[in-house]
Amino acid sequence: MSDAYTCRLTITGPAEEIARFRRECIRVLSDEPENPPSFDLEALVPIPPEIAAISQGCSDEACAIARAATGHGDWWDWSTANWGTRGNTHSFRGRLLDDTTYDCAFLAGDAPSPVIEALARRYSKLRGTFVTSAPGCEWCTVGVIQDGEYSFDEELYHPLVLLLAKSHYWPAPAAEQSARALLSTLTDGAQLEAPRETGAIPAYVACTRAVFRELCRTLDGKLASYLALECVVLDVHDHLEDELSRKDLYDLKRYDQELDPYGGPCWAPSHEAHVAFLREQHCFRTEIERQLTLTLVGCMRDRAFRGDDGKPITLPEMWISDDRLRDWAHLTLSRSGMSFDCTDEELLREHLRVRAERLARDIVAHLHGAESWSPVVMLYQRRQVFSLS
């Protein structure tokens, strides 16, 4: 996999079982003795000696022995079949929320579902959740550990699932609250296995929305408002990705038709108001507007969680081709009646900076009223790149 999956495991149960899990499964990996402890897949699904013998290459005879013993003639086949991913975990981070609750995150090449199933069987007194996703990959997973079993729904990528997995890395106390929202909302594997009616929302999306709805309920009002807007932006973005081709992004009638019914089920606080705001701002009518909106709302939520929402906004670099910039200018600036030189890239990028600053200001006014702070957004250029900071 070219993109690593962000995996989040959250478990709760008797203190002695939590301690046993940490003692047995959070340890230094055998092939990375110089690195800190990680969630070791081998602790739950051991590597057979015949496979270990060929993990760094092998003779034909050794491969034949491994195939006869395990049904797999090389390391990658065995790990994919028995771990669900090629190779062990890395970039691990874990914390105790209390003696009975543990929350951790790590990266893996794919969802290690067979290992989570083994975890559920070994630690049957624990219950919990497992969420994994990766940008640019086709699949994501939402799962429940309960009564010695692991139930999960693995479906097409949805950005809300990735946000839920990455919420482990949020500043305190938001990260802890997201873990507790997971545990209090996803309490039964049947939530993920109920038959899906034609046209119904997939179980993993419905469950993820339910977690964020609970989290917005428990967060401070200002933090909840930033998170709710980001959730709606991601959800609408995913909807439009499914429904519209790139060509149709420039058909504003089609764009409005697709957004209109999406004000439907109000699963997030102020859902309808947020959708109306996005429509009025034309936040998805071009690829650049989409990219800018997605990046901006995530950055503003992150700054609010860190208590920095009154400071100038810093956005990560966004790679934008000159052709895409000119397309944006033709649609956006020409519709406003402005005249411009489409060959003047410096001027176009300045218009984009102004658009970013205006959108940030309008988001603040939308969430908190016109008397709130006016964000400052500055744009720095590189070759086919701009940064807002």
pLDDT, mean of residues 51-68 = 83
CATH code (residue 37): 3.30.70.1270
Interatomic CA distance for residues 164 and 169, integer angstroms: 10
| Predicted confidence (pLDDT) at residue 75 exceeds the cutoff of 90 | no
What's the pLDDT score for residue 271?
A: 81
274 in the same domain as 163: no
250 in the same domain as 304: yes
180 in the same domain as 32: yes
pLDDT in tens, 299-353: 889 988 988 877 777 766 666 777 777 777 777 766 655 666 667 777 887 888 8
| Predicted confidence (pLDDT) at residue 367 exceeds the cutoff of 60 | yes
Q: pLDDT confidence of 124, banded at 50, 70, 90?
A: very high
260 in the same domain as 130: no
119 assigned to some structural domain: yes
Q: Which of 193, 225, 244 is the last residue of a domain?
A: 193
What's the pLDDT score for residue 159?
A: 92
Amino acid letter for position 307: G
Task: Identify which of 289, 270, 269, 271 has the alpha carbon closest to the alpha carbon of residue 281.
Answer: 289
178 in the same domain as 104: yes
278: containing domain: 234-388
258 in the same domain as 125: no
Interatomic CA distance for residues 297 and 274, integer angstroms: 12
Weakest mean pLDDT among 166-180, 188-202, 217-231: 188-202
Task: Please check whether residue 353 is in contact with residue 277, taking contact to mean a CB–CB distance below 8 angstroms.
Answer: no
What's the pLDDT score for residue 247?
A: 42
282 in the same domain as 362: yes
For residue 336, give every residue at least 6 positions away whose Cβ sits within 8 Å of its Cβ, in sequence order, or none. Answer: none
244 in the same domain as 170: no
Q: Which residues in 209-227 are b (16+ Cβ under 10 Å) and which e?
A: bbbbbbbbeebeeebbbbb
Instruction: Return the DSSP state at 301.
Output: H
